[in-house]
Chains A and B, each alone.
Chain A
Amino acid sequence: MFPRPIAQRSRNARILYQVALPISLILWLLPLLGVALTSVRPSSDLAAGNYFGMPSHIAFSNYYDVFANSPIAQYILNSFKVTIPTVIGAVALSCMAGFALGVYKFRGNLIIFFLFVAGNFVPFQILMVPVRDLTLSLGVYNTTTGLALFHIAFQTGFCTLFMRNFIRALPRELIEAARVEGVAEWRIFWYIVVPLMRPAIAALSVLVFTFIWNDYFWATVLTTGASTQPVTAGLYSLNGQWVAAWHLVSAGSIIAALPPVAMFFLMQKHFIAGLTFGAVK
């Protein structure tokens, strides 16, 4: 393996490496550590100017304050209301589309495929005004439904790319055999292909969950107000209200970041598989 395995190097090199690892990690995560520390720092410390020393006591009450005195619980609920339907919708649509594009040869297959791929890369701003107008005329402006609808449509691009490549790598014999038996196509899809796609579905679900949870732009464009905004846009307006209240801003940020982080640690394998699919030949 490359670089040369550390076990083969001198003892000094090994020690150096073992020391360098934690130091580099702390340096890398310094902003995060700083914010985490500030989130449990009591506000009296901040008022007195104690920003970096040890907190005078661990103020978990900051978290309580954030929940009790701001609509952050509502924001988080809204995030779930947008994210979960999007994951379900995008994965379902892309399974079907990926199946169509991956299993069948027909004219226009590649063109449609590349349309999905290209659409995934467009800047959001080119879509902003028409999508907003469309959402208004459909009557779902400022609803979690409207936001979810957009995300389902947009994520279909990336997810279809993923699913189609995955399906192409599946063994064809099963499908062929089923066809010989006279099994209907949709049955092939549902009973044979979908079970084989489970790892891909897991990976994609985790990824889409993270992307949608962390989306900020469309949350700002399509929703206003605490009853519908997800936590990213909510954090922006809370930041505006909590000026100079860094202990609250930090606590709010940590809370907003928790679900994707939890998802990441629980489903690491799937997460990384999803991101790196295609990075390997």
Chain B
Amino acid sequence: MLHLKKTAGLALAVALLAGTSAIAQQRTLVFNTDTSDPAPRAAFDQLIADFEAENPDIDVVVNMFDHEGYKTAIRNFLTADAPDLANWYAGNRMAPFVNAGQFMDVSDVWESAGFDDTLASARASMTIDDKQWGVPYTYYQWGIYYNKDVYAQVGAEVPTNWDEFVANCELFKAAGIDCLTTGTSALWPAAGIFDYMNLRTNGYEFHMALTAGEVEWTDQRVRDTFAQWARIVEPGYMTANHAAIDWQDAAALLVQGRAANYVMGNFAVATFMDGGMTADNLGFMPFPEITPGIPRAEDAPTDTVHIPTGATNVADAKLFLAFLGRADVQTKLNAALGQLPVNNQSTVGDDQYLSAGFEMLSNAYALAQFFDRDAPAEMAKIGMEGFQEFMVRPEYLEDILQRLEAARVRIYQ
């Protein structure tokens, strides 16, 4: 853990002032965060500087963890050495900590700051037992990114529904190009594809019921989803050997024109651009319709900040949460992050992908959190392995569904 004394200069100034004048008591706020990558880190530095500027008597101490290490570290520091604030995720991802009593109920902050209205789109995913357990500050869209040059090369049109998408795949295959690419060695990209196949085939309510363990995996409707998915898996329209490559390797395929489409989150845009794609040849489209008439729901994983139950400076932590949920704060933070603000009063920058995303999410019927946050951890792991296996050997579908069903029965008792 690195202790970065934030705004040491400001603290020194205050201390000097305190020396010369009377009281000026400095209160500290300890913030554990995993925003270790350069862009999020800069964004958070600015956020904290702004908070301290508005609240000169509060000093924020940041403990920076690396992104992956944080996921194990949090399981310890919530009990062993609890900070006042901690980053985490919404939905079922926060459930283990909520159920163990390690996150603090912050429904009072939601009420007093009016978040029930302004953060409405994410409210459901922050609620367990009718109480709110943290404040969301950003989310990002998922959809299909495609290579416009490749589309032009084979003479394909942007599809308006799944049938057209599959028809295009034949064109791509004939030209030796992967219609849909993905890299599943880390498993989660496969879940993105499943989420959309299911949301489009059966709708949001069914998908939520499935991830909540209320529907059997052997149900006909689940089979329908896989049947639609099989339409691009069985003829070999997907990248071979995806199980041995990472999502960035697959991104390289899209950049090089060896693949046409990629179901991914908006964070991938930076990688595509780095590889040489431009706003002219990188296209974005919402996942096409499969079953006509189903209202369009989207995956929008949400990042959050929570107060651990073991926090010492609770009052100021709540102040920070109220600050974090504000429209102007979220506008500024997300402009730096390159993602979307949760607050519906915030504004979005003019990056074309962000605007498209914001439009899509604001008009979405509902927002899902992504499979590994909507389903409990163990089910998520088993599910994702099943999706990966289906994409490698679709003939094993029956076996996969039986297995997922057996897991569901055991996990959701």
Instruction: Give residues in A with beta carbon < 8 Å to B.
Output: 136, 139, 141-142, 224-227, 229, 237, 240, 243-244
Decide if the interface of chain B is mainly helix, strand, loop or mixed.
helix
If A225-B65, A226-B66, A244-B252 touch, does A141 touch B80 (CB 8 Å cutoff)? Answer: yes
Contact indicator B68/A237 (Cβ below 8 Å)? yes
If A136-B76, A224-B72 touch, does A243 touch B66 (CB 8 Å cutoff)? Answer: no
Contact indicator A225/B69 (Cβ below 8 Å)? yes
Instruction: Give residues in B with beta carbon < 8 Å to A.
Output: 1-2, 65-66, 68-70, 72-73, 76, 80, 246-249, 252
Contact indicator B76/A141 (Cβ below 8 Å)? yes
Contact indicator A142/B1 (Cβ below 8 Å)? yes
Q: Which residue of A lies closest to B63 (CB)?
A: A225
Counting from the closest, the 4 A-B pairs by CB-CB distance are A224-B69, A243-B248, A243-B246, A224-B73
If A227-B1, A243-B249, A244-B249 touch, does A136 touch B80 (CB 8 Å cutoff)? Answer: yes
CB-defined contacts of B247 to chain A, threshold 8 Å: 243
Q: How far is the CA of A142 from the CA of B70 in the complex (A)?
A: 12
CB-defined contacts of A136 to chain B, threshold 8 Å: 76, 80
Contact indicator B248/A224 (Cβ below 8 Å)? no
Contact indicator A142/B73 (Cβ below 8 Å)? yes
Q: Count the A-B residue pairs with Cβ separation under 8 angstroms: how many?
A: 37
Decide if the interface of chain A is mainly helix, strand, loop or mixed.
loop
Q: How far is the CA of A203 from the CA of B73 in the complex (A)?
A: 37
CB-defined contacts of A227 to chain B, threshold 8 Å: 1-2
Q: How far is the CA of A224 from the CA of B70 in the complex (A)?
A: 8
Contact indicator B1/A225 (Cβ below 8 Å)? yes
Q: How far is the CA of A244 from the CA of B251 in the complex (A)?
A: 10
Q: How far is the CA of A141 from the CA of B69 in the complex (A)?
A: 13
CB-defined contacts of B249 to chain A, threshold 8 Å: 243-244
B310 → chain A, closest Cβ, in Å? 14
Q: How far is the CA of A226 from the CA of B68 in the complex (A)?
A: 11
Q: How far is the CA of A237 from the CA of B65 in the complex (A)?
A: 12
Contact indicator B248/A225 (Cβ below 8 Å)? no
Q: Which residue of B lies closest to A240 (CB)?
A: B68
Q: How far is the CA of A227 from the CA of B3 in the complex (A)?
A: 11
Q: Which residue of B lies closest to A223 (CB)?
A: B69
B58 → chain A, closest Cβ, in Å? 26
List 10 additional A-B contacts (Cβ < 8 Å) besides A141-B80, A225-B73: A136-B76, A142-B73, A224-B73, A225-B65, A226-B69, A227-B1, A237-B68, A240-B68, A243-B247, A244-B248
Q: List 14 A-B contacts (CB under 8 A).
A: A136-B80, A142-B76, A224-B69, A224-B72, A225-B1, A225-B2, A225-B65, A225-B66, A225-B73, A227-B2, A229-B69, A240-B68, A243-B249, A244-B249
